[in-house]
């Protein structure tokens, strides 16, 4: 695909007569339009593009969006133009790709005008006239494979074009098809997990900016538990970790803040206060680095970590927002680990890598990884990369980036394949060799000299919302297989629901629930005037792991009739139930019931 990009003060076109039999119908616009302050994209779809149309369109949209944002326009004209190449795609394929390109730009938040294909058109253009006003781009689908290679579990590096993708695990095939070639992914179907979000009170906040969420009592509890669990994961690495807290707003006039923001990219969430322009942090980096520059650090202290659950902001495009996954405001349990040098950073990152995989497998899932790195880092660190791949036990996708472009030398993205077959990044780590110098962070080495540490960035379980998304997606996969969707016991808002058969057993039911809560188990009592069957069904709808039914027989015998979500009903003493639950909760954080003990006291029931 070839693009000629013109920043136009004004652009007008009018279709005059058909140039091809396959010309598009003109529609309501009559094949004419007039726009002001727009990026006009004269676009030639070439025969090469038919090999990987989704990849070409994705790359073209990325290039066009980048230029549009740099020149400050939100309006784009996609104008078919057959004169930039002698090797044209078939008309049907070209029309399809032009429509895809318009849709991709609209998804990024642009107002798009698309001129009809296959017509002779009159047009006038008034170019603004500045250094970025006239640009050209060439996109070749063959470039896709050249940017990638495959790292096998045995440590072998195979160019992607030579790799036998058909013999690879299915999740890796799906990752490559989506990430490299832009193929597959959902087909417009609503993912099942969205229903689960609504069930537990995870919603968009309509009174805020788009992309901001709110959490009902059950969801708020889960977020609090996940924050504490992320801290436990950080402290389990075997190095000292310091928990800190800071602000979410930083001054772009500070050179280090501005430089880091420029490196981050184009999704900065900014606010203006008086004469100051401030950026809302997109992770905990700004605050932790601003703090660490003031610490007196010796080589004896290293390695150590600094942790914060940082409210983070990224100005995602409206068409990309997805509840619990792609947000404008989210909670990132960010851990930064300071190390003496690159060799120590690699050694510590092996522990991080192992922990990330341990945690996802405990959740019943597995990752497929993308290693973003330079070719020089690959050449100099083959043994290290082989150790990472060996821990995964499956191929990893290597994505080569330009030398010196980023502050990191390797950036690993950990993806699940979701219920709809799409790769979804959850966890991550980076080895950062640039920010310590940029922010003035130093330590004193053995000789008394000041040196800049190498910093590992990681969110072991990913953002709190994305980890919850992964759990919901796991439940959706289980339901699709015919099983019962569920959450881990430690994260279930109500762990035990006690249902008295009648009012005669209510006192005992309350006593049982109070004893469970006193022991750190979240239990409530469904005291509503409903049938037992309905109350049991409502508890199942809420995925309650243990349902205890108390009738006159159970009260008389001093036992509990316990129904487990995973299957089976048994009679047991309260002490036996507690012992079973305690064993399952070992190593996980606890939190009290976030709502009244009696179900009848809650609105909405």
pLDDT tens digits, 289-345: 999 999 999 999 999 999 999 999 998 888 789 999 999 999 999 999 999 999 999
Given CATH 3.40.47.10, say whether it is the number of domain 148-244+282-472.
no
Q: Which of 395, 399, 393, 394 is nearest to 412 (CA)?
A: 399
CA distance 108 to 387: 38
Residue 157 β-bridge partners: 151
How many Cβ atoms sit within 10 Å of the Cβ of residue 489? Answer: 18
CA distance 180 to 182: 6
CA distance 505 to 83: 84
Q: Which of 454, 483, 507 is nearest to 304 (CA)?
A: 454
- pLDDT at residue 142, rounded to an integer: 56
- pLDDT at residue 231, rounded to an integer: 98
CA distance 121 to 125: 13
CA distance 469 to 402: 32
Give per-residue pLDDT as tens, 19-70: 998 899 998 888 999 999 999 999 999 887 886 788 789 889 988 998 998 8
Q: Are 17 and 120 in contact (CB under 8 A)?
A: yes
- pLDDT at residue 205, rounded to an integer: 96
Q: Which of 551, 562, 547 is nearest to 502 (CA)?
A: 551
Task: Identify whether 303 is preceded by a cis peptide bond (ω within 30 of 0).
Answer: yes
- pLDDT at residue 185, rounded to an integer: 55
Fold held by 489-601: Rossmann fold (3.40.50)
Cβ partners under 8 Å of residue 204, min gap 6: 210, 211, 212, 213, 214, 323
Sequence ranges of the domains in the chain: 2-141, 148-244+282-472, 489-601
CA distance 461 to 429: 11
Q: How high does pLDDT run on average in the chain?
A: 92
Q: Are 363 and 488 in contact (CB under 8 A)?
A: yes
Give one word for 472, left, alpha or beta, with left for phi > 0 and alpha for psi -120 to 50. alpha
- pLDDT at residue 490, rounded to an integer: 97
| Class of domain 2-141 (CATH, top level) | alpha beta
Cβ partners under 8 Å of residue 77, min gap 6: 8, 11, 33, 35, 38, 39, 40, 41, 112, 113, 114, 115
CA distance 605 to 599: 7
What count of residues does the chain have?
605
Q: Are 343 and 146 in contact (CB under 8 A)?
A: no
Low-confidence ranges of the chain (pLDDT < 70): 51, 141-146, 182-188, 265-266, 605
- pLDDT at residue 160, rounded to an integer: 87
Q: Are 400 and 411 in contact (CB under 8 A)?
A: no
């Amino acid at each position: 695909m070839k693009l000629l990009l013109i920043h136009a003060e004004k652009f007008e076109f009018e279709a005059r007569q058909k140039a091809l039999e396959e010309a598009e119908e003109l529609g309501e616009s009559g094949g004419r339009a007039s726009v002001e302050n727009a990026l006009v994209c004269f676009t030639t779809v070439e025969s090469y593009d038919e090999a990987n149309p989704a990849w070409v369109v994705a790359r073209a949209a990325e290039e066009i969006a980048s230029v549009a944002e740099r020149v400050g326009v939100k309006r784009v004209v996609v104008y078919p133009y057959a004169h930039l190449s002698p090797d044209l795609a078939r008309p049907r394929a070209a029309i399809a790709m032009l429509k895809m390109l318009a849709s991709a730009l609209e998804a990024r938040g642009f107002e798009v005008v698309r001129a009809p294909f296959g017509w002779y058109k009159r047009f006038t253009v008034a170019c603004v006239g500045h250094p970025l006003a006239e640009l050209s781009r060439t996109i070749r689908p063959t470039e896709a494979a050249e940017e990638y290679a495959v790292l096998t579990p045995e440590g072998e590096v195979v160019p992607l074009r030579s790799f036998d993708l058909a013999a690879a695990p299915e999740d890796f095939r799906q990752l490559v098809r989506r990430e490299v070639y832009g193929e597959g992914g959902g087909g417009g179907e609503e993912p099942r997990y969205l229903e689960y979000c609504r069930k537990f009170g995870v919603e968009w906040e309509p009174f805020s900016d788009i992309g901001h969420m709110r959490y009902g009592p059950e969801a708020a509890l889960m977020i609090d538990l996940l924050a504490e669990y992320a801290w436990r994961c950080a402290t389990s690495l075997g190095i000292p970790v310091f928990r800190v807290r800071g602000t979410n707003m930083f001054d772009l006039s500070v050179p280090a803040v501005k430089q880091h923001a420029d490196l981050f990219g184009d999704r900065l969430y900014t606010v203006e206060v008086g004469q100051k322009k401030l950026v809302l942090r997109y992770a905990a980096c700004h605050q932790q680095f601003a703090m660490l520059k003031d610490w007196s650090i010796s080589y004896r202290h290293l390695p150590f970590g600094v942790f914060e659950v940082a409210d983070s902001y990224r100005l995602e495009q409206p068409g990309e927002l997805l509840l619990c996954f792609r947000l404008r405001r989210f909670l990132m349990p960010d851990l930064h680990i300071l190390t003496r040098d690159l060799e120590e950073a690699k050694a510590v990152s092996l522990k991080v890598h192992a922990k990330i995989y341990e945690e996802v497998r405990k959740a019943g899932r597995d990752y497929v990884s993308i290693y973003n790195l330079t070719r020089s880092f690959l050449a100099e660190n083959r043994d290290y990369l082989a150790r990472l791949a060996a821990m995964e036990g499956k191929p990893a996708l290597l994505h080569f980036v330009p030398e010196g472009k980023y502050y990191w030398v390797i950036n690993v993205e950990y993806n699940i394949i979701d219920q709809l077959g799409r790769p979804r990044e959850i966890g991550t780590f980076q080895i950062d060799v640039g920010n310590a110098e940029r922010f003035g962070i130093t330590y004193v080495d053995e000789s008394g000299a000041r040196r800049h540490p190498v910093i590992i960035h990681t969110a072991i379980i990913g953002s709190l919302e994305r980890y919850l998304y992964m759990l919901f997606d796991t439940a959706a996969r289980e339901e699709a297989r015919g099983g019962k969707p569920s959450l881990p016991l430690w994260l279930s808002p109500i762990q035990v629901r006690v249902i008295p058969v009648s009012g005669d057993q209510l006192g005992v039911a309350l006593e049982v629930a109070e004893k469970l809560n006193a022991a750190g188990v979240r239990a409530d009592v469904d005291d509503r005037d409903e049938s037992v069957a309905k109350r049991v069904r409502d508890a199942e709808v809420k995925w309650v792991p243990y349902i205890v039914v108390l009738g006159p027989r159970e009260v008389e015998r001093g036992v509990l009739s316990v129904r487990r979500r995973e299957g089976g009903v048994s009679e047991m003493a309260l002490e036996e139930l507690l012992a079973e639950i305690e064993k399952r909760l070992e190593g996980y954080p606890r939190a009290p019931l976030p709502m009244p003990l009696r179900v009848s006291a809650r609105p909405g029931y």
